[in-house]
Each structure stands twice: as structure tokens, then as C-alpha cells.
Structure 1
């Protein structure tokens, strides 16, 4: 593909040589134009009524950017535990603030640990490999799976070698003291 050549000015590019450039410039050829044209009545778009708000039995966290809740919200996993506390704190910040998203990511990781602890507390052994999608990984991403196995094995080997080096291979006899 030939890229357009620059003109005399280093900041300008010859847009006429770019395939598809300006394809949406003509409002007669723009499929979204009728929705943006508010001077005409476009049938059903003018008569739309907001659906009733879903009644939620659980706590729903809402962004500070929105005045009202959407009509339908997810209620299958309400915020709870330490991850729920982190989620509540995260929603004190704007979605444009990176701390909001970092707290939500942290809450997701903590929620995984809380789930494993909850399974063990109810005498259920969690099937962590299945929950992590090992079958799908083997079926669709063999190279990625091999890389993950190699990284985990490397980390395990490093920890074992560091532990052995730290102990110096010696076993202290504390009974003589």
C-alpha cells in the first residue's frame, strides 16, 4: 500500500490519496444522519418512552457520572466482603480517573480469593484449572498455555533454589544449646 506523500508543510498530509478518506462527509450518504437530524419527525424515534426502572433487591453501584440508573441492572453478584468495600470506594471516583479502574481490578482479584475461601469453608474443593479455562486454552491457544506453564515452573524452581540457598543446605542442631 502506498502511503500519501507529505506536502510542503511537515504537518499536512495529502488526504486525497488516502483510500476512503472523507467517505462520511456527505450527509446524504451517511446512514446515521437521519438520527442526528433533529429538524424532522422520524417516526418511532420521537415516540420512544423510557422503560420502567428495574426494582433491585440488592445494592447497585452507580457511576458518579450518571444521574439515574439504567432500566436493567445486573443483580446476580452484589458487592460483598473486602472486594465489595473496594468497589464502593472505587465508585467514589470518576470513571475517567485511573484509581477507579485500579480499585475495580484489585476488587476482582480479591473476589477470586474470596470465592476460593468460600468454597473451602463450605467443604468444596474448587476446580481452579477448570475455572481458569484450561480446556479452552489447550484447544485454542497451545503456545500461550505452554508459555504459562513454563513461567509457573520457572517461578517455582526459582523459589525452591532461593529457599535452598538461604538455608545453605544445613540443618541446625538446636538440641545442644
Structure 2
């Protein structure tokens, strides 16, 4: 059996864009020049003022022309975000802390609401009414999972107090004013 070296031009569709007569952008760009290879081809808009702390990627040195300023990083979630932005965007050490910071921010928001004397309506904010109306099976599953989780946590917390002291459940609950 004879080995035949396969050169690059023998690969199917190799150099398909090398023919200037077969340019798919021809109708859109009839007067093609090499100016577009020089970087920005437009006047950059005026930079938005940086009035709060903006977390920047290590991979892009300049700020975006427009960015959000309504929720600057603060508290524990802000510290986690600052840590995340010290790492490359291609690493888990960038994205996982950002996911964790989002969850921590939710808890911080609930604590802030409670400090202000407002009890958050998590039931409505999570859209449970809509879930019950349009996806009742998932809503029932969510209720069952929450009941199981709360029961497991309760059993774990009270197991040592009730069963290890040799008291009956009724006496143990009476001693904890329940």
C-alpha cells in the first residue's frame, strides 16, 4: 500500500475564501480597502463618567462605552466579585465566584429588607403563583422538595437534643417552649 502525503490544497474547501471574485460580501462592500484592518473604523462615543466602582476584566483594558451603575459592588458579594475579576474570564475562578456572589447578594438583599422593617414576599417574588397556574407538577415537586429539606434540617438539629438526652419528644419540646 502506497502512502500518499495529503497536502493542504487537497483538503476539501481549503482556500475557499482566497478567490477575490468569490467574495460573499461583494454586494455590500463594493469598494473594499484595507482600512478596516487598522482597528476602530468609527469615532468612539463619549465615555460614560465613572461615578461608582466598576469591575473590569483583566482581558480588556478599556471600559465599555456604557455600563450599569445602579448596583455597585458592596458587602460580602462585592468582595467576592472583586476576587473574581482578578482572574481570567476563561477560568472557573472567575465564573464560579460570580455565581456565588449572586446568591450571596440575594441573601444580603433579604437582610437589608428585614433591617428596614420590610418582610419580603419571597413567594410572590419567585413567581410561584405563575408556576402553580402553568406548571403545577413542578410546583408540587418544589413544595415537596422544600418540605423534605426543612424536615431534614429540623431532624438534624433536634436529633441530638431529643434522642440523645433520653427524653420523650413531648418533654423535649416543652423544655424548649415549643
Q: Does the alignment reach a TM-score above 0.5?
A: yes
1:84 and 2:78 equivalent?
A: yes
Deviation at 1:33, TM superposition (A): 9.6
Q: CA deviation at 1:142?
A: 2.6
Larger Rg: 2
Give the equivalent residue in structure 1 for 2:55: 61
The answer to whether the aligner puts 1:136 opposite 2:139 as a matched pair is: no
Give the structure 1 partner of residue 107 of structure 2: 113
Structure 2: give runs of 5+ residues left out of the alignment.
1-12
1:162, CA displacement in angstroms? Answer: 4.5
Q: Which residue of 2 aligns with 1:96?
A: 90
Q: Secondary structure at the match of 1:123?
A: coil
2:86 is equivalent to residue 126 of structure 1: no
Superposed CA deviations along residues 129-164 of structure 1, whole A, max 9, x for unmatched, are: 222222332344332222211111122233344456
Pick aligned residue for 2:149 from 127, 146, 155: 155
State the TM-score, normalizing by the size of structure 1: 0.68
C-alpha distance in structure 2 between counterparts of 1:136 and 1:65, whole Å:
41
What SS is found at the alignment partner of 2:88?
coil
Structure 1 pair 56/163, CA: closer, same or farther in 2 (3 Å)?
closer
Q: Alpha carbon RMSD of aligned pairs, Å?
A: 3.3
Q: State how many pairs are aligned.
A: 146
- Return the offset for 1:63: 0.5
What is the rounded CA distance, in whole Å, between the counterparts of 1:40 and 1:92 in structure 2?
A: 36
Structure 1 segments (4+ residues) deviating >6 Å: none
Provide TM-score, normalisation by structure 2: 0.67
The answer to whether the aligner puts 1:146 opposite 2:158 as a matched pair is: no
Q: Structure 1 regions of 5+ residues with no counterpart?
A: 1-21
Deviates more, 1:143-152 or 1:105-114: 143-152
